[in-house]
Amino acid sequence: MTDMTVVGQSAPRLEGHEKITGRTAYVDDMQRPGMLHAAVLRSPYAHARLVSVDVTAARALPGVHCVLTGEDFPHHYGAFVRDEVALARGKVRYVGEPVAVVAADSLALARQALGLIATDYEELPAVMTPAEALAQDAPLVHDDFAAYGRRVAVPLPANVCAATTIAEGDVEAALAGCDVVIEGTYETQAQVHCYLEPCGALAEADAAGKLTVWSSCQSVFRVQATVAEVLGMPMSRVRAIATRVGGAFGGKSDVTVQPLAALLALRTRRPVKLVLSRDDDFMMMRTRHPATIWMKTGAMADGRLVARAARVTLDGGAYAEDSSAVLGFALLIARGPYRIDHVRMEGQVAYTNRLRAAGFRGYGNPQVTFAGECQVDEVAARLGRDPIDLRLQNAVRAGDRWVGGQAIEACGFAECLEKLRDALPPRVPGRGIGVACVTHISGILSTSAIVRVLEDGTVTLNTGAVDLGEGADTVLAQICAETLKIPLDRINYTVPDTDGSPYNWSTGGSRVTYMVGRAVAGAAGQARDRLFEHAAEMLECASGDLELRAGGRVGIVGVPGAEVPFRDISGRAHWVAGGPIIGTTSVMFEGGGFDPKRSAVTGNGIGKLGTFVFGAQAAEVEVDDVTGQIAVRRIWAAHDVGRAINPTAVEGQIAGGIVQGLGYALYEDLRFDGPNPANPTLMDYKVPGALDVPEITPIIVEHPEPSGPFGAKGIGEPPLVPVAPAIANAVADARGVRLKALPMTPERVLAALDGRR
């Protein structure tokens, strides 16, 4: 077999030409004959009894074809707690919660009809923070919580939707024996996903009542399952198709507006498109979990980190969503990428009358890593140690085990630190440099792939994985092309469609390259084996004597002229013997779960996780003593990706994660004026612009993962995670002040500087 020709190359994006020429079709670009347009009525109250919703006048408006309320959606749904309904029923639980939806001949007419809906509310006391929600005799966000179905059925206090504890060793005794103990409380904020494309869906029912739903989503299979559940239909009667996605970052991992468009289409027997305005998306959708983290880290005089304890409280908003898993993962990862033998991590998620919090790039990791990496730097300062040297001393290595006992098979963490140190320039007067590290995972849940060799020898690859704009289609096609030794342009990558695509859980959790890539490599390998079986008969030799040759040919090892092209092999299979050449592979992540002999775990909302990825970053900053402004000048980012299938795509993920992390660190914060979001527009909610982005130096480290496709692991989420603590540590290096709340605004910087003065 020839050397690799596709994997490891910076191949152009498969969809690049359509995007740069403006031909990409998103949901809002779609049209169907006779299509209606929909709009949503939002609640003006954070917490209120929904006494009545009178839609008589709205339904009477000419051009209005259907108006739905919560009474039309009787079924609850939810990933961990079945606490949600598609439209509010009984009461509303946050400002912006959908109350009614209208389908009309035009969007303007649908919005006009919203103004004719008469609603009667009985306002209730609201709890806007976890502290308020967890107070004794606090108003209940969910009066009937005990009646909901739950995946983790443990007793919980009022207004708590999830609680977890993970412990190993004896933390109290270990901390008591430490020479240095750092303790602090850290606050992180609600970050909005701010994808460029708002949530949207188009639904159509055929003559037999089968639904087709096109939508901007992260998983067509989660859309299919949830729409079917909400509408009380068999999954086989719901077809979900992914359109091009203009960003998601976790905010589209579950359904958004698909059930609303779907029922409108069923009721009207016409196609219905529902695309949220930017205001609607801000007010109705999801944020990152705000968090309060108390943490204590203990070390010995020689620099060994020996103990860490943490208590994490997440604000889950009005509905549970993925909160249980976000909390569980945050606690699992809170140790950091270090050999710390004694840990106790506990946490809870509080219901509040705010927007739902959900999975967001990093999935609980950015919150706890902000606290943990700041404390590692404080330990280094107390011991007079270089921050990188201290981290190298304590770094996990291949062969170590994670909290819970999961094995770390491949680990380039130490090399990330070493390459980061080598990349840093001499210090510039007036500037500070801070370091922070990250560990994450890319192994989770199940997926599958189908590879089919067409009659002309080209190949169709079908995975069901949705490309969110990160280039997953291209990377998976590269894995297929490399396995079969054919050019990338001979791969046809299909659109995810539940009627024809094999199952994939979701594009999330930094899992696509690793998990779906494994399935693709397996399916392509099966197709290769079938090609060999036919070629052996055609060339009159044993299959073991054959090799793949570049350009889509199979030949006899050591005999240059003895070969047959894929076209001839596939033609024989289709028309003479054996049948079409198809490879199929299904994969479930089978990594180790929690070892009860090693760890004490309660209320855990996550399953088997692993295939650990690592990274180390450094930020160089200037701090203006007069304005409090933090100017980030440069960021260096070394990340172990196992194997870079597409180096340019890896560098793009690193840069994109850093920019989003920069927003989390310095700017982004969905604030509230009482119960109302105070800055729910891009005019007032600041995200990094081009002029805010520093010079970014990506450093790719490759320690191949034995179970990964060509050794690859994930890179989607890790680059965001260490940005905030790296900047905080750089500020401490530059000005000697420690910031413990995000975002690190000029006001907070000035307050810290004034406190030091």
Reading phi first (left if > 0) and then psi (alpha if -120 to 50, else beta), residue 48 is in beta
Q: 599: pLDDT confidence band, cut at 50, 70 and 90?
A: confident
Read off the pLDDT of residues 687-720 as tens digits, 9 standing for 90 and up: 999 999 999 999 999 999 999 999 999 999 999 9
Read off the pLDDT of residues 93-140 as tens digits, 9 standing for 90 and up: 999 999 999 999 999 999 999 999 999 999 999 999 999 999 999 999
Read off the pLDDT of residues 440-451 as tens digits, 9 standing for 90 and up: 999 999 999 999
Read off the pLDDT of residues 156-181 as tens digits, 9 standing for 90 and up: 999 999 999 999 999 999 999 999 99
Mean pLDDT of 74-87: 95
CB 469 within 8 A of CB 217: no
Token pair for 721:
């995670």
Mean of the per-residue pLDDT values for the chain?
95
Q: Which residue has 């052996």 as its token pair?
A: 536
Residue 231, pLDDT above cutoff 60: yes
Sheet holding 272-275, edge to edge: 64-69, 98-104, 36-42, 272-275, 200-205, 211-215, 238-242
Domains of the chain: 15-22+445-587 (3.30.365.10), 31-124+199-275 (3.90.1170.50), 287-444+595-755 (3.30.365.10)
| pLDDT in the model for residue 2 | 45
Exposed e or buried b for every residue in 8-26, given b needs 16+ CB within 10 A?
bbebebbbeeeeeeeeeeb
- Angle of helix 723-735 relative to helix 746-756, nearest 10 degrees, comes to 40
Mean pLDDT of 512-521: 97
Q: What percent of the chain is predicted at pLDDT more than 70?
A: 99
Residue 757, pLDDT above cutoff 70: no
pTM of the model as a whole = 0.96
Residue 641 is given by DSSP the state -
CB 712 within 8 A of CB 420: no
Q: Is the peptide bond between 743 and the residue preceding it cis, with omega within 30 degrees of 0?
A: yes
Q: What percent of the chain is predicted at pLDDT more than 90?
A: 94
